[in-house]
A and B are shown apart, each in its own frame.
Chain A
Amino acid sequence: QSALTQPPSASGSPGQSVTISCTGTSSDVGSYNYVSWYQQHPGKAPKLMIYLVNKRPSGVPDRFSGSKSGNTASLTVSGLQADDEAAYYCSSYAGNNNYVFGTGTKVTVL
């Protein structure tokens, strides 16, 4: 199995929006609505931000939203804040009780 493809980096100024893509195949992202997104600050464990493509766990601001089209899922962070600067990873069910993560995107708040 191959990791899902994410851009290595993305950036935006405070208050702006940034969208991160997560491209898989018809065997993972394209076939299942089991896409999740995680935020990871340096030296910390990842934190769940989005699950089932577009659901937000309790406590996650509505500035974070998810979507999917075909083999590509996306995470949008609106109203960027300094604390949003982190690495973001997508994940998808890949069939046969197997899961795959994305390559990760480092978001910089300018």
Chain B
Amino acid sequence: QKEVEQDPGPLSVPEGAIVSLNCTYSNSAFQYFMWYRQYSRKGPELLMYTYSSGNKEDGRFTAQVDKSSKYISLFIRDSQPSDSATYLCAMSVSRGNQFYFGTGTSLTVIP
């Protein structure tokens, strides 16, 4: 069983839509949760970082962690064509230790 499961998509939405991206995981020891955005032919860049359970909001982006269900989500409000990218979730047990990544979800926002 993979440590982290993520639906690869692809996901296609109209501009202005609310997007929900999700990951599930099997290791209950994960405490640090991240979302990365990767544009085509670029390396991943950090979008959101969350410790333990709860919500974190940054502009149009909200990261949600439910440790009881081993489920994390990234919500994008008022999606824009510039949000078109692959979104990867990542998690780790402790700070500075090995990261485990999902496969990434490909998102296209249509103008």
The finding on whether chains A and B are genuine partners in a shared complex, rather than unrelated, reads no
Measured CB to CB, the residues of B under 8 A from A are: none
